[in-house]
Amino acid sequence: PATSMDELVSLCKRRGFIFPGSDIYGGLQGTYDYGPLGIELKNNLKAAWWRAMVYERDDVEGLDASILTHRLVLRHSGHEATFTDPMVDCRNCKSRWRADQLKDNKCEKCGSTDLTEPRPFNLMFKTTVGPVAEEGSFAYLRPETAQGIFTNFKNVVDATSRRLPFGIAQIGKAFRNEITPRNFIFRVREFEQMELEFFVQPGTDDEWHSQWVEARLQWWRDQGLLSENLQAYHQAGDELAHYAKATVDILYQFPHGLEELEGIANRTDFDLGSHTRGQADLGLSAKVEPNEDSTAKLTIPHPETQKPLVPFVIEPSAGVDRGVLAILTEAFTKETLENGSERIVLKLKPHLAPIKVAVLPLARNKPEIVEKAKAIKALLMATGIGRIFYEDTGNIGKGYRRHDEVGTPFCVTVDFDTLGRGDDASLLDTVTVRDRDTMSQARIHINELATYIRERLV
């Protein structure tokens, strides 16, 4: 794995995975742009999550709620009052810091210990809605995707006739005005989340919580993260958010330390209880603020008594960008080859690789080879396995190195033998397939190529 963030940042920029946001104007702190390969990796990761959460289960529905959010949603969710981090000012150099991230209570810029007392700083971004900037015309950019799921609870239940237990899954952008964004895409101000809200009957919540922790750990392992770099951390009582009965963080050994990749919380009936109308009659177990604004009763029939019930919710909430960072960290490998040279290879799981196959013509100035290589690209494209890249640098060694560095599982080379013009005429219509990890090469007939590759891409 990568041992320093710098080597990842450099590879990401050089090969087109991730660039600093607004780069040509000096950058906008806490924003990053995903380049040609980064977008493929990110899309593949999100698709793997959606597949595991929605397609492979029978108890989850999908949702894509809006980012702009009514202030009442974020008032009743508790965010207006409590979605804050403790901030301190350095009296010496006037910089600002998140108090709980400072080492030895020292300003990171000037080293001064002359800091103000911490005060709460709300992390939500506000924006004006409509052409008139008057009181009341603002909305928030959502700080998490979860609230859109809670506010659509009744819509989804009415539309699908779901009964407990069931979940709603969503992937999308979230925004937090982090006091100090840092560590590349680990802590940014605009990011993506993959969140599931899984609604259960109270009393079954502990069991479901443990099941989801196991399922999520296994999923991250399936994405290539090694068990030895993952840890399930059970938050202690005094660390828990006010609404949570229990929270398990999945930590990953990032280059900058062992840090949170995903949080899996048992949020009881706090969220639906906070957003529902008629709170008093519902026997809520969470302590909620009164709500005179909501127009909907967020209940579902109790599985046994059929009486209206506000279910408990288990929430596995993962960061897409932190996922991408973890996967890049794990995959990054520096190898010394037998001839003493060094190669960098991204050992990505094939389903995550931005490019599945590179097709290389041995010579780019030989029309017949070029034509054949393009036909093979088209043939592989038609199988729908993902991005197939026609790589015509004309230098096979260079092509292999480039594709090792971006994690392309297979390179297919078209040469004179393919055209039946080599020493061995039986090689007509065969190509060389090189494996990224072992660097071994196999001679495969074009008719068998798609099957050969597809079998090895899972």
Residues that bind ligand ATP (CB under 6 A): 144, 176, 178, 187-188, 191, 193, 260-263, 317-319, 321-322
Is the Cβ of residue 77 or residue 317 nearer to ligand ATP in the bound state?
A: 317
SS3 110: coil
Minimum CB separation from ligand ATP for residue 311, in Å? 21
* Residue 129 vs residues 100, 134, 140, 181, 247: alpha-carbon distances, Å: 34, 10, 9, 26, 35
Minimum CB separation from ligand ATP for residue 277, in Å? 27
Is the Cβ of residue 322 or residue 434 nearer to ligand ATP in the bound state?
A: 322
* Residue 258 vs residues 127, 170, 326, 348: alpha-carbon distances, Å: 35, 26, 11, 21
Separation of alpha carbons 363 and 414, rounded Å: 9
* Nearest residue relative to ligand ATP (C-beta): 319
Minimum CB separation from ligand ATP for residue 334, in Å? 27
Minimum CB separation from ligand ATP for residue 150, in Å? 15
Residues 6+ apart with CB under 8 A from 417: 424, 427, 428, 430
Is the Cβ of residue 176 or residue 434 nearer to ligand ATP in the bound state?
A: 176
Separation of alpha carbons 50 and 168, rounded Å: 11
Minimum CB separation from ligand ATP for residue 263, in Å? 4
Joined together, the tokens standing for residue 270 give: 């706090």
SS3 437: coil
* Residue 106 vs residues 95, 100, 101: alpha-carbon distances, Å: 12, 11, 10
Is the Cβ of residue 38 or residue 319 nearer to ligand ATP in the bound state?
A: 319
Is the Cβ of residue 257 or residue 301 nearer to ligand ATP in the bound state?
A: 257
Minimum CB separation from ligand ATP for residue 116, in Å? 21
Is the Cβ of residue 321 or residue 330 nearer to ligand ATP in the bound state?
A: 321
Is the Cβ of residue 190 or residue 417 nearer to ligand ATP in the bound state?
A: 190
Q: Which amino acid is at 57?
A: R
Confirm if 249 and 239 have CB atoms less than 8 A apart. no
Can you state the angle between helices 36-50 and 205-222, rounded to 10 degrees?
A: 140
Separation of alpha carbons 422 and 414, rounded Å: 12
Is the Cβ of residue 266 or residue 317 nearer to ligand ATP in the bound state?
A: 317
Separation of alpha carbons 80 and 90, rounded Å: 26
Is the Cβ of residue 257 or residue 283 nearer to ligand ATP in the bound state?
A: 257
Region at 283 (left for phi over 0; alpha for psi -120 to 50; beta for the rest): left
- Please tell me what DSSP assigns to residue 151: H
Confirm if 445 and 452 have CB atoms less than 8 A apart. no
Residue spans of alpha helices (H) in 226-284: 270-275
Minimum CB separation from ligand ATP for residue 144, in Å? 6
